Structure 1
Amino acid sequence: MIFFEVILPVILIFFSGYMIQKIFKVDIKPISTISIYILMPALVFQTFYTTPLDSNLFYIVITSTLIFAALVVVSIVTSRLCKQDTEQESALILTSAFANSGNYGAPIVLFAFGQAGMNYAVPLMVFHSILMSVFGVYFAARSQGGIKLAVRTVLKQPTNYAILPAVLLQEFHISIPDNFYASIELVGNCCIPVVMIILGMQLADVNAKKLEWGNISIASGIRLIASPILAYLICLMFPIEPLLRNVIVIMAAMPSAATTAMYAIQFNTKPQFVSSGTLITTVLSFGTLTFLLSILH
């Protein structure tokens, strides 16, 4: 059964973080800072240093950009129709437009499609992290300090500076000494399990009594239903092989990103709502992903 083979192993990792937080009440912010400023840049560099710049990578970039843009537009239109202020609009975008492809999507793809699917999932995850480190920070910061602070904060994100050196080294066939690359690989490989545990810890801190059910329902519908449908329709526009298309659709069907919850906490952009959205969409995704995987398999 797909739930026990694919979804449950991932849930158990989240649950370990959840229990650690319930028992020990750990301060999450220092751990999330390590993840954002050390682990993720190492993984980004490692991915672009080793991933060939071929047509599949082009399709990953172009479809991810189109899916993200469509979700932002849907979120803004929905927010304006609901007469929400800028802060709530930013929180809705953080919850709806960014998928949890790193600490949820990549493991799901690995269990569902094996290493072949994982070869597509990693560059997808990395590009999603780039979108988050640029636009996630922008939308989190804009409601608190305006556009100048948002842009300045984006420029401070280290993942944005890990891509170009990695691409140039690969394109000019310049090899990093094995012992140095082994250190980068060691740190990068820690990223996904650590962020999965962080998500479980974040979910443990959500106060279920303060959930904004109306706004969370809207965000959940966009994130879990509209997003994979948009992804599938956008994939039909390109000559993409079936496995890559399936991976793109599955990654688009992931719940709200844990990283954006970190940004919401750092910039105080309705962190309770964004974290609650992560919790609810994660729980609901156990069912929606099981259904979607049964169709795609």
Structure 2
Amino acid sequence: MEKVLTLQATIFLLVAVGFMLKRIGLIGPQGQKNLNDLVIYVILPCNILHAFMNSPVEGRLLYYLEVLLISVGIQIFCVFYGRLIFRKEPEGKNKCLRYGTICSNAGFLGNPVAEGIYGAEGLVLASIYLIPQRIMMWTSGLAVFSGTTDRKETVRKVLTHPCIIMSELGILLMFTGWKLPAPVTDAVDYIGNCNTAFSMMAVGMILADINVKDFWDRTVAKFTFHRLVVIPAVVYGVCSFLPLDKNAFGICVLLAAMPAGATTSILAEKYGVDSPFATKMVIFSTLLSLPTICLWSMVL
């Protein structure tokens, strides 16, 4: 729990840095746009490749495969669940809500929480669990924001996106055991390690444009309840009937209980889709995830 508290405090400090940079005028609208592009096209792809390169598969392949299949099922469920629950929302909010339902912040919060509760094995299981989410984030998730009705064009944009290219390369490296040259690996690691800082500062910059009086939003509260309570409860119920190892069971439930990912705000800003609303989703769900993660940890 100490690790969870530390992570939450780190997130909000980074958000505060971005908030202040925007408020004091050190970074203007063009600089903010450039930072978003830097995160999406350079830092995030390197972070994804780094994650795949550090996810071992040797040994308990069947054990990992169980977690992978459950994660695939959860992602498919979230795609349809988001469409159903938020179908009556306005188009801009609908896109943010659907993306936030598909893509959580498990990549940042999930790994250290899994390691803190389940040790090294938990970290490996979390890395395996996150493979489908990383793929969905830049396929179905990206398609939510792209807004094009041309399926071929959507597929083309998604498959040529740097994050998807890095996901494909990462999967190849992970399962073949091939290694990139040391200088390339180090460069990817250094850039990828900037992801948390730059992503959360980008969220803070968007937050700086939101009127404090408008921060409370019933729709955001509804999303937070579904993201942090309903979805993990469904996963808990389904996994209870499966012959899963206790650690695998816990990892699947915990990572399903993570808040909205920072990319919700970043992509909303990139595609001009109600980024203030997306930022409220990220901040509000992250804030409330502190007690809910603690509660799910005790239940498990």
* TM-score normalised by L of structure 2: 0.83
Aligned match of 1:6: 3
Taking every aligned residue pair, what percent have the same amino acid on both sides? 22
**In the alignment, is the contact (CA less than 8 A) between 2:135 and 2:167 conserved in 1?**
no
Partner of 1:65: 72
Contact kept? 2:48, 2:163, Cα under 8 Å = yes
Match of 2:143 in 1: 138
**C-alpha distance in 2 between matches for 1:128 and 1:164:** 13
Select which of 222, 226, 230 maps to 1:222: 226
Cα 1:137–1:168 change in 2 (3 A) is closer
**Higher normalized helix content (fraction of residues):** 1
Aligned residues: 289
CA distance in 2, matches of 1:55, 1:78: 34
Distance verdict in 2 for CA 1:218–1:181, change over 3 Å: same
- Seen in structure 2, the aligned counterparts of structure 1 residues 168 and 84 have a Cα distance that, compared at 3 Å, is closer
Q: Which amino acid aligns with 2:128?
A: P
1:156-195 → structure 2 map (5 Å cutoff): 156-195=160-199
Equivalent runs, 1:1-297 vs 2, <5 Å: 2=1, 5-25=2-22, 26=27, 27-50=31-54, 51-52=56-57, 54-80=61-87, 83-142=88-147, 145-148=148-151, 150-199=154-203, 202-203=206-207, 205-211=209-215, 213-236=217-240, 238-296=242-300
Offset at residue 281 of structure 1 (A): 1.0
Task: String of CA shifts for 1:52-80, please: whole Å, max 9, x gaps.
Answer: 27234433332222212222322222234
Relative distance call for 1:286 and 1:171 in structure 2 (3 A) is closer
CA contact (8 A) 1:75 1:97 kept: yes
User: Which deviations, in whole Å up to 9, do the C-alpha atoms of 1:84-139 show, x marking residues without a partner?
Assistant: 34443323212333211123222333333333322222333343222111122111
Q: Per-residue deviation at 1:141?
A: 1.9
Q: Which amino acid in structure 2 is aligned with residue 117 of structure 1?
A: G
**DSSP 3-state at the match of 1:186:** helix
Q: Displacement of 1:233 after TM fit?
A: 2.9
* Root-mean-square deviation (Å): 2.7
Per the TM alignment, residue 182 of structure 1 is displaced from its structure 2 partner at its CA by: 2.9
Kindly state the Cα deviation for residue 198 of structure 1 after the two structures are TM-superposed.
4.3
Q: CA 1:190/1:24 → structure 2, altered by over 3 Å: closer, same or farther?
A: closer
**Uncovered stretches (5+) of structure 2, i.e. residues with no partner:** none
Query: Residues of 2 paired with 1:7 and 1:200: CA distance?
Result: 20
Distance 2:37 2:120 in 1: 29
Q: 1:273 to 1:290 in 2, by over 3 A?
A: same
